[in-house]
Chains A and B, each alone.
Chain A
């Protein structure tokens, strides 16, 4: 499939997913009235009459729509961050939670729930955001310091290993904190599994600036990631500065993943599976993989969240369970059809 066709298909997928999500939910809204209300919102100059009563309108515009938009943002950011990391590390098995990002977010959220529980619900996202970025910063600094004393010439493997070490350490600290405060296990656990049930326009506007900046930076570095694919030495011979590119892409990916995780909790599989699907659709060039990952990730998470809130309606499944339930078999399918797992 050409890159342009693939992008068109992915955009269409996102639109369809968003529409499905807007029409489906625990509250039984009249589909025709819902459609009329949506069109009226999008194009008020048409003065379309809608029979949706004020309560249903509130459900649609204050509960469902912010959740759809937030789901799209979170899914797009996670997939984009995963693709960015995969490009930087020249390794298709890396995901958005690498380098201590997930472990840091988990520790941050746990500390906030256990020690700052009285300070209100806004504290947890902030703590998860700060924890995630701190985790990546520590892993990156450790890896950069270690790679100066190693035989691994380009430092990529050292960085990944440092990320694993830092991640394990942060998870250990988190477990320790949690063991000392067993009354919070339920709250922490449900955060870790991920949910968009608290979605609001306020959350959307909070993460939007980070989402825009990190996505723009990543989308603008697709060509640089393609050059990095030939290795640091050849990239330098082409006049690039691989270390600088790596630092910029890691920072942008970390920011994207942290802002997603802060409002959604830990959602697995999106950051690793979606870039693979993008690659299968339009080839390995990151100039295509990055925008495709953003669109497909957004659509995928909106659909996954729709399942999470409707399968056991009115109860909700954790969205992390849905993405893994759909994602794991999808991943096996992708691996089956992958000719080259390595680069």
Chain B
């Protein structure tokens, strides 16, 4: 259980402020989803949390300033999964998952029995044990995402930072992967911070939503308070209906403009 808090976090890339004084917090074992239009700064904020881009302001992990942590110490606490992880095609799933143990190994150490046990447990938890000896190139999209999560889990982190964990998956595999993440959150007490582009899905899994637009927080709170039609329409320049689904969560349904408005007649 690790609380993660960002206070006035600002990130400047190529002299442009991409994240502007963002503050947000997620309690240990919670799931915070960053939402917002393309280019809003969601991925950059998550990379700042992972310590991969320099930032102004403060990010704390259980009240410890992340800037005071060494790279390895931070890597043991936080596992980061980018939107498109690099998967060396010929590496086997087992070898790939073992890379997740890196933050626990001394400079010249080789993985020992304990590391192999943790790798085995992570593969079993994500149900990829039967592919252990298979090269990454021969996995389907859903299997690949499970292998990536197994690598993240193998490092025994206390929080997962997931950048669009399901952007390459169909709706069935998306649900399967998000249920797995939710399961990890519940049984291992992992804190989850993720970006999610599908607003309905974000509202179903996260307990806190933070909506970013042009690097700033424009709304934050529970899915019910953030996912409102007027806010989404203004931030995304979209037309949507927000209805309540059979599971009680808000459903964001795009609405098409009447055709005569779409096709300007000459």
A231 with B137: CB separation less than 8 A: no
Instruction: Given A239-B71, A239-B76, check contact A226 B90 (CB 8 Å).
Output: no
Q: How far is the CA of A220 from the CA of B108 in the complex (A)?
A: 6
Q: Which residues of A contact B137 (CB under 8 A)?
A: 339-340
A283 with B90: CB separation less than 8 A: yes
Instruction: Given A238-B103, A239-B76, check contact A229 B108 (CB 8 Å).
Output: no
B80 at the interface (CB under 8 A from A): yes
Q: How far is the CA of A238 from the CA of B52 in the complex (A)?
A: 10
In this complex, the interface size class of chain A, counting residues with CB under 8 Å from chain B, is 20 to 34
> 8 Å CB contacts to A: which residues of B6-24?
none
Instruction: Given A230-B88, A340-B90, check contact A238 B74 (CB 8 Å).
Output: no
B253 at the interface (CB under 8 A from A): no
Q: Which of B82, B91, B103, B105 lies in contact with A234, CB distance below 8 A?
A: B82
Instruction: Given A229-B86, A230-B86, A231-B86, check contact A241 B110 (CB 8 Å).
Output: no
Instruction: Given A223-B110, A285-B95, check contact A233 B75 (CB 8 Å).
Output: no
Q: How far is the CA of A287 from the CA of B95 in the complex (A)?
A: 11
Q: How far is the CA of A227 from the CA of B101 in the complex (A)?
A: 10
Q: Which of A227, A229, A233 lies in contact with B52, CB distance below 8 A?
A: A233
A236 with B71: CB separation less than 8 A: yes
A284 with B90: CB separation less than 8 A: yes
A234 with B71: CB separation less than 8 A: no
Q: How far is the CA of A182 from the CA of B115 in the complex (A)?
A: 62
> 8 Å CB contacts to A: which residues of B66-94?
70-76, 78-80, 82, 85-92
A240 at the interface (CB under 8 A from B): yes
- Distance from B234 Cβ to chain A, minimum over Cβ atoms (Å): 33
Q: Which residues of B contact A285 (CB under 8 A)?
A: 91, 95
B241 at the interface (CB under 8 A from A): no
Instruction: Given A223-B110, A340-B137, check contact A230 B72 (CB 8 Å).
Output: no
Interface centre among B79, B82, B99 (most CB of A within 10 A): B99
Contact with A along B87-128 (1 / 0, CB 8 A): 111111001000110110100101100000000000000000
Q: Which residues of A contact B71 (CB under 8 A)?
A: 236, 239-241
A284 with B110: CB separation less than 8 A: no
- Distance from A43 Cβ to chain B, minimum over Cβ atoms (Å): 34
A238 with B75: CB separation less than 8 A: yes
Q: How far is the CA of A178 from the CA of B205 in the complex (A)?
A: 72
Q: Which residues of A contact B85 (CB under 8 A)?
A: 230, 234
Q: How far is the CA of A234 from the CA of B82 in the complex (A)?
A: 8
- Distance from A237 Cβ to chain B, minimum over Cβ atoms (Å): 4
B149 at the interface (CB under 8 A from A): no
Instruction: Given A237-B75, A238-B103, A239-B103, check contact A284 B91 (CB 8 Å).
Output: yes
Q: Which residues of B contact A226 (CB under 8 A)?
A: 91, 95, 99
B89 with A283: CB separation less than 8 A: no
Q: Which residues of B contact A238 (CB under 8 A)?
A: 75, 99-100, 102-103, 155
B177 at the interface (CB under 8 A from A): no
Instruction: Given A233-B52, A239-B71, check contact A223 B105 (CB 8 Å).
Output: yes
User: Which residues on B are within 8 Å of A, measured CB to CB?
Assistant: 47, 50-52, 70-76, 78-80, 82, 85-92, 95, 99-100, 102-103, 105, 108, 110-111, 137, 155
User: Which residues on A are within 8 Å of B, measured CB to CB?
Assistant: 220, 223, 226-227, 229-231, 233-234, 236-241, 279, 283-285, 287, 339-340, 343
**Interface contacts beyond A230-B85, A238-B155, A343-B89: sample of 14 additional A-B pairs, CB < 8 Å, sorted by A:** A226-B95, A226-B99, A231-B86, A234-B82, A236-B51, A238-B99, A239-B71, A239-B73, A239-B76, A283-B92, A284-B88, A284-B90, A340-B89, A340-B90
* Selected A-B contacts with CB under 8 Å, 14 pairs: A226-B91, A234-B85, A237-B80, A239-B73, A239-B75, A239-B102, A240-B102, A279-B90, A283-B90, A283-B91, A284-B88, A284-B90, A340-B89, A340-B90
